[in-house]
Amino acid sequence: MPINILMPALSPTMEKGNLAKWLKKEGDTVKTGDVIAEIETDKATMEYEAVDDGTLAKIVVPEGTQDVAVNQLIAVMAQEGEDVKAAAAAAGKGAPPPAASPAPAAAPALQAAAAPAAQAKAPAALPPVAPAAAPKPAPAPAAPATNGHAGGRIFSSPLARRLAKDAGIDIGRIQGTGPHGRIIARDVETAKTGGGLKAPAATPAAGATPMIAPSMSDQQIRALYEDGSYEVVPHDGMRRTIAQRLTASVQTIPHFYLTVDCDIGKLLEAREEINALAPKGKDGKPGYKLSVNDFVIKALALALQRVPDANVSWTDGGMLKHKHSDIGVAVAMPNGLITPIIRNAETKSLSTISNEMRDFAIRARDRKLKPHEYQGGTSAVSNLGMYGIKDFTAVINPPHATILAVGTGEERAVVRDGKIVAAHIMSCTLSCDHRAVDGALGAVLIGAFKSLIENPVMMLV
């Protein structure tokens, strides 16, 4: 029976992807582990590996095609010993089209492995369901809905249901990544960390006024400007994802903000001394070059260890208290940003953090980060100081409960012992999720950060 190759979901937010390049052509033999295509997600360019042997019989979606829906048929492979021409002729038969239910005798779908380094797949999301057909005298089965739901029924494995029950998670909110959106054990484990969860449905009371006013349509906005006075630049996947996630964050997370001014005079002196003592490599270049941001990452990581009640993620089933400080760091890239994560940052030296961030920044701009390098985390840092920004507030990136916005370090007049003197001051603002972190707790956390950043020697003990 032919194997239908479907567009995989390679990140939790991926709904569509671009088929950048086919690395196999029709008639080519495919072995398990062969990279058959390159897929552009909203965050990176990923390799698509085969896990079955056979012959690529038919390419349904040509390379260069954009906005291919997850689970859409992209190619058909003939199994070993199967007639390749017959498999090609049967292309698409039994495959789940992007807007309809799968046929009763669906052919097995080729599973994907996200690469490089054969990374585990991210949670998948099925494309929108087609509108229901007109009612007939005899009731017809309902078409499956997205993410393992069909006609009110939730498709999930027995193990997944048991794990969800034990974790106190409503299985109906979990995004399924199994065949045709079936919820499997891996999805429950992802949900435990706050990932792959849909927002709970809310039914407004009769006559209630919506809290969020509808936004203007494209036509209404364009009508405000003369024809020819603007250029329409289509949104790419990354920009759409940023818009969706940050809009959801602002609308569903009750933010509050705490700002402190930090004297970084000692930090700047320590940074200069440490960089001067950095060992040289064979090429004569220093082994590391610390930035102020490296100190910020380390200080936040240690502060979260000192205030463990703030090192949390909110879930409906319970609070997740994290044992380590995994700090995401916003990195600007063309047309957007990404947040690679320094894992176990509280245990790492400043030089290690510095070198990891340098590597992340390079690969982020080349869209070469692996999913596990930018998914998850327990808090984050957004630094606009290099642009001369004095202070700002950052939007929390779920499942984090906090994010630290860092402004520029500059000389300001301060009062010490009744005298006005100049000091290097850096303003930092902590955004907190009030569901997880109350005002007093947030104040203790940013106070711990201030103490560490003003006394950098405490980060070295």
Task: Enumerate the active-site residues.
Answer: 434
Instruction: Report DSSP state, residue 424.
Output: E
Residue 162's SS3 state is helix
Q: What are residue 113's DSSP bridge partners?
A: 49
Q: What are residue 16's DSSP bridge partners?
A: 69
Q: Identify the CA nearest to 58 among candidates 130, 3, 136.
A: 3
Q: What are residue 445's DSSP bridge partners?
A: none
Q: Based on the number of CB atoms within 10 Å of its own CB, is 85 exposed (0-12), middle (13-18) or buried (19 or more)?
A: exposed
Widest distance between CA atoms in the chain: 90
Alpha helices per DSSP H over 150-291: 158-167, 185-192, 218-222, 237-252, 265-276
Task: Please provide the DSSP assignment of 319-369 as one string.
Answer: EEE-SS--EEE-EEETTEEE--EETTGGGS-HHHHHHHHHHHHHHHHTT--
Q: How far is CA 234 from the centre of its chain?
A: 22
Angle at 20 between CA 75 and CA 339, to 5 degrees: 120
23 in Cβ contact with 35 (< 8 Å):
yes
Structure tokens that stand for 383 in this block: 């630094």
Instruction: Report DSSP state, residue 127.
Output: P
Could you check whether the bond before residue 340 is cis, i.e. omega within 30 degrees of 0? no
Q: Based on the number of CB atoms within 10 Å of its own CB, is 404 exposed (0-12), middle (13-18) or buried (19 or more)?
A: buried
Cα(171)–Cα(297) distance, rounded to whole angstroms?
35
